[in-house]
Structure 1
Amino acid sequence: MIMFKAVTTLVTIFILFCLLPSRVLASEFSTNYRATYELLHSGETVVTHQISLKNNLSHIFPREYTLSVGNNDLVDVIAKDKKGNLLPNNTQTTGDQTNITIKLLDPEIGQNQINEFTLRYLATNLATHTGDVWEINIPKIRHGSQMQTVERTIIFPSILGSPTASYPSPDHIETKNDKTFVVFSSSRQEAISLLFGESQQYQLKLEYNLEPPLSKNAMTELALPPDTAYQRVILDSITPEPDNITVDQDGNWLARYFYKENFVSKVQAVLYIEVSPIPIYYDPSINHPNLLHSSKYWPLEESIIKQTAEQLKTPKNIYNFLVENFSYNTGRVAPGADRLGGAQALAKPALAICTEFTDAFVSLARSLGIPAREINGYAITTNTQLRPLSMATDILHSWPEYYDQDTQTWIQVDPTWGHTTAGINYFNKLDYNHITFVRHGKEPTYPYPAGVYKKSRDEKTLDISHTSIKKEYKSSYHIELAKNNHYRIQNTGNSALINHSITLPNGSIHTLAYLPPYGITEVNQVLGEQTSSFSWQVFSLAIITSTLISFLVYRYLTKKRNTK
């Protein structure tokens, strides 16, 4: 977040200095603000602020100017006046904020006189390059609406190509001399995000320590990272192999192990996951949006939830409310920290960690009749001050998602990071760094995510890294005759079969809507031929619809969700 303050001098009393609040500054001065952010090939960003202050009164003029930047890693800070003279500056960093105070040595005095100066520095963490993608995130301007003009320009090497996503939409884009200039002049306060790259590839090596089934009729299960609208999963290997993988109402992949005399309690899995910042993949939970019930952590009957929800009314307002009113409490980030739940989180907003941001969002959304649920997963970050991880087992993170009825899509948001990053937009898009492990909709705590199946707190069971390996999605299945005139079909490939057409032994065609790897389903061989034509038509339409939504949802959400 970027904030501005000026110290003014009364002409008649030269020794009096006043630090004026922003509402006073808006009347005492007219401010024009321009900033450029030039991305270098090294990944560093050269930032230049050009500020113009016009004196609205004859007896008040600026002597100092303070710029507060939501960035704690600035170097080579230089300030100059309009003649090119160096100006003294003092830089102080507290947490993730840096305050730069500039002394104006020869200010212009008198009404309508203009003081112009430039501030330049090098920022090392505005842009990140990980794996196949680039991200540029510019913090919001706190009092941008009170300025006469605000213009921000992001400059980057044209070799990066066009941004995959941009929030908000730019006002102008041009390319010259191997550089691309993206100009934002109508968005005065919003944070700016540019994303480059369709998706990010990850390799996951996971370990699970299971309790063996206690009887021959019992089984045990674990949750593998599932397909969602934001990620596509390849199960490269799992040892020992499960007897079956089922999909629950929330789309979770549950690997099941039945009783065996020589049960192996440690399961090791290797997965490859493709992650997108916007919803473009098939979501197996798409047909289960009715998650509106109350629970221990989402107590919809509590008056604080009802009253707050009635005031907010939309998912975007809920998100903004949490970003602006909750405080991330690093003192609570410890093993065994109590989960407060939605009502207590609203009552004690200064005690929030990611679970409180999430539970409050889910509670408020459900109170409005908007299906919502919690996600537990893994979020890649190189700066835990700006993007904290607060679940104590390994380094897990929690964020919510809500169901958009118009687009029929589960939309993931992250109000925790929206708060801690000084307003970077995690509502209209996520990033390439959020990996879903489990989704909690029907139950607020089960299934358990990878990372908690461990014998001791110090045991490391997660190994997650970017990878350049492009694994191939392999589709295969096995059919055998089961009891009661049914065919038993098992997915023997490494990824889910989605709207996949297969030929049964009796010659009929059957379409599998969704079957995860190791998943098993049965088809009535007598009815197969009679229902195959209908199924094929239905699911062919589903394939076409799903493809169209994948292409259109990004543009639609960009326009629609900005009004929510």
Structure 2
Amino acid sequence: MTFRFLKFVLVAFLVRLVRLGLSLSIVYAQTDSSFETTLETTYVVSDSGTTQVTHSFSVKNLQPTTYLKEYTLSTNFPQLQNVTASSNNQDITATVAHSQAKSVVGISFPDQVVGQGKVRQFKVQYEIPNMVTVAGQVLEAQIPPLTSPNPYKSHTVILKTPLRFGRAVRVKPEPASINLENQQLVTTFNETNPQTISAFFGDTQIYSMTLRYNLENNTSSPNLAQIALPPDTSFQRVSYYSLDPPTTDIKRDEDGNWLATYQLAPNTAQTVHLQADIQVTLDPNSLVPMIEPTSSLTAEKKYWETSNSAIQKVIQNKQSVGDLYQFVLQTLSYSYDKVKQNVITNRLGAVGALANPNQAVCQEFTDLFITLTRAKGIPARRLTGYAYTQNSALRPLSLEADVLHAWPEYFDSENKLWRPVDPTWESTTGGVDYFTQFDLNHVVFAINGKSSTTPYPAGSYKGTDLNTKDVEVTFATSFPKLKPDLSITTKPVKTFGLSIPGKNSLMIINTTGQAWYDLTLTFKSADSNLTLGQTQVFLPVILPFQLIELPFDTMSTNWQASQVAVSYNFSVKDSQDSHEGSISVQSGPPIVKYLTEQNLSIGLVIGGAVGIFGTGSLLVFRPRRKRSLRR
């Protein structure tokens, strides 16, 4: 009886076991609610910038009859190297598929972990050569979120960076902790919502640049050629070492461009060389005053068709600049084929970009954003220049010439600041935030606001040879600390070739390669008989090597013309230093202050008329006198 009962129990158990085996479910990816996944991702950055990534997964079964057979991990990195996988300390096979901007890792598990509450633990490891940018003294980490269809129960991200870069000066989101470990800084994030992690170690980047401008005059008449030199901006400070050939005809336009003018003889060519250091900062530079926007920066221009019905339709339900930015990201796709085929010269403009959303490069991303913001009444401009990138797939450059880049900026009226953004790179990096946090990799060569096309940036002045390399960039370790140095002289004013005593021009030349802002010049003389037409001059800015010419009258109360000494001192914004000197000028009678060129011209006309009238009178009176003598 007992034997039969045991036999019955054994048979029943075997049947139940078979049924259980036949009812097991196999899941091939993390798309099933039958699991609960926790993840710890560690990024270990080397001094050179190569990053070792380790994903440590714990997948818990929530069903008694379901187990994980395969797993797929999708990343926003196009180049994964040395990919390995392991489970229970045993190596397992990993397959990798690459696309233009992503990589997918697939792994298969040789064993089964079955049972409710059972946990499978496994790791995926690989190297990324360019997730982190190490340039000069700056380390920049931009970690896009993993593209998981189901949220993780928890995801801890650990970023380990070399200690020599110090703490992150700007990081988003807020880290859970920051610790030191074996000459590494360990920054830990508890990721509740998938988002890009941005961390900047170092708040300043310094570039050393050599720029060449190839100018040609193919006409039979003298011509003027104008070039755009890299300017100061709210986030950029420049220092010129040399401008060859030199020119003092340098002016700033209403967008803040620095425009140098050269005279070209007929049928000649000339190459202008500029050597400069450029300092880029994360925070606005208080030394550089912000240029207030004008009405022209919301106006419709070529490529920025603000009144177009398609543009007006888009902005109807968009409330903020952020909404417009997200629309650009969601609408346009970067065309790598367009760059490969070298057809990027065909600039589509905003309306063309909407009609051809898969044919966009940086120009179209920029034009569409500018047009939408202007259509909402928000000032916006186009910036063109150099952008440092170690990965042309993640951060492509698509302007012609020396492979430059374009990105927009808009005016933040609340904070009174021009804010640069880069929808192109946010799109190509899979979500790295270039809207709320900018980087140190963008250098402005030219600003297009009043015009949508000009001035052109350095690297665009090619002449007949289109293959010249006209933008050369390296990293520098320090930015020149200069003091203001002005050459101040005078020269007599000549009207119709004649020098007028007491009428002078004040010649102010900035002999340094940096711009100086809010200059105040004060003049005085120890001669009690001398009266100065102006005792104080205020200059909002004087650009590198620029000549500024101002009227400067010197009048003597004793009506004697003589050479007199005038002393001066000047100071610049946010500087306690005062600079002194003296100039020698020729004085004139007090009437000098009324002798303007217009008055002199009128006087000469009147004098000429009087002379003609007098001559005519003599001719008339003389015959009359002769007749009277005959009587």
- Normalised by the length of structure 2, the TM-score is 0.75
1:80 to 81, 86, 111: 86
Aligned residue type for 1:175? L
Superposition pairs of residues 356-435 of structure 1, within 5 angstroms: 356-435=364-443
1:332-358 CA-partner distances (Å, limit 9, x unpaired): 221563111012212321110010000
Secondary structure, in 3 states, of the residue corresponding to 2:323?
helix
Superposition pairs of residues 242-281 of structure 1, within 5 angstroms: 242-258=247-263, 265-280=270-285
Given that residues 38 and 47 in structure 1 are in contact (C-alpha distance below 8 angstroms), is that contact kept between their aligned partners in structure 2? Answer: yes
Inter-CA distance 115–221: structure 2 relative to 1 (3 Å threshold) = same
Secondary structure, in 3 states, of the residue corresponding to 1:311?
coil
1:209 to 206, 214, 220: 214
Superposition pairs of residues 162-177 of structure 1, within 5 angstroms: 162-177=167-182
Given that residues 250 and 285 in structure 1 are in contact (C-alpha distance below 8 angstroms), is that contact kept between their aligned partners in structure 2? Answer: no
Given that residues 140 and 191 in structure 1 are in contact (C-alpha distance below 8 angstroms), is that contact kept between their aligned partners in structure 2? Answer: yes
Inter-CA distance 281–11: structure 2 relative to 1 (3 Å threshold) = farther
Q: Which whole-Å CA distance do the structure 1 matches of 2:287 and 2:326 have between them? A: 28
1:183 to 162, 185, 188: 188
Q: Which whole-Å CA distance do the structure 1 matches of 2:176 and 2:150 have between them? A: 17
1:142-165 CA-partner distances (Å, limit 9, x unpaired): 348822212111112323211122
1:473-504 CA-partner distances (Å, limit 9, x unpaired): 34222334475676443322211011233333
Task: Please identify, of 50-59 and 259-268, the stretch whose mean Cα deviation from structure 2 is larger.
Answer: 259-268
What is residue 115 of structure 1 aligned with on the other side? 120
Q: Which whole-Å CA distance do the structure 1 matches of 2:355 and 2:221 have between them? A: 48
Gaps of 5+ in 2: 1-18, 494-502, 525-531, 555-569, 577-631
How far 1:516 sits from its partner (Å)? 0.9
How far 1:293 sits from its partner (Å)? 0.5
Inter-CA distance 329–12: structure 2 relative to 1 (3 Å threshold) = farther
Aligned residue type for 2:512? G
Q: Which whole-Å CA distance do the structure 1 matches of 2:153 and 2:324 have between them? A: 30
Inter-CA distance 14–42: structure 2 relative to 1 (3 Å threshold) = farther
How far 1:380 sits from its partner (Å)? 1.7
1:362-421 CA-partner distances (Å, limit 9, x unpaired): 011111221111111111222211111111212111111111112211111111111111
Q: Which whole-Å CA distance do the structure 1 matches of 2:482 and 2:20 have between them? A: 74
**For the pair shown, which has the larger CA radius of gyration, 1 or 2?**
2
Task: Please identify, of 103-112 and 359-368, the stretch whose mean Cα deviation from structure 2 is larger.
Answer: 103-112
2:164 to 148, 159, 175: 159
Secondary structure, in 3 states, of the residue corresponding to 1:32?
strand
Superposition pairs of residues 34-73 of structure 1, within 5 angstroms: 34-73=40-79
Aligned residue type for 2:228? A
Given that residues 365 and 372 in structure 1 are in contact (C-alpha distance below 8 angstroms), is that contact kept between their aligned partners in structure 2? Answer: yes
What is residue 512 of structure 2 aligned with on the other side? 493
1:350 to 339, 344, 358: 358
Aligned residue type for 1:417? W
- Normalised by the length of structure 1, the TM-score is 0.84
Task: Please identify, of 389-398 and 503-512, the stretch whose mean Cα deviation from structure 2 is larger.
Answer: 503-512
Superposition pairs of residues 489-528 of structure 1, within 5 angstroms: 489-504=508-523, 508-522=535-549
1:251-301 CA-partner distances (Å, limit 9, x unpaired): 000001246689762212111111224433555552235410011211001
Q: Which whole-Å CA distance do the structure 1 matches of 2:112 and 2:425 have between them? A: 40
Pick 1 or 2: higher relative contact order, CA cutoff 8 A, min separation 6: 1
Does residue 301 (structure 1) correspond to residue 310 (structure 2)? The answer is: no
Inter-CA distance 512–384: structure 2 relative to 1 (3 Å threshold) = same
Inter-CA distance 165–144: structure 2 relative to 1 (3 Å threshold) = farther
How far 1:442 sits from its partner (Å)? 0.5
**Cα root mean square deviation, aligned:** 3.1
Given that residues 138 and 165 in structure 2 are in contact (C-alpha distance below 8 angstroms), is that contact kept between their aligned partners in structure 1? Answer: no
Aligned residue type for 1:77? V
Q: Which whole-Å CA distance do the structure 1 matches of 2:288 and 2:422 have between them? A: 19
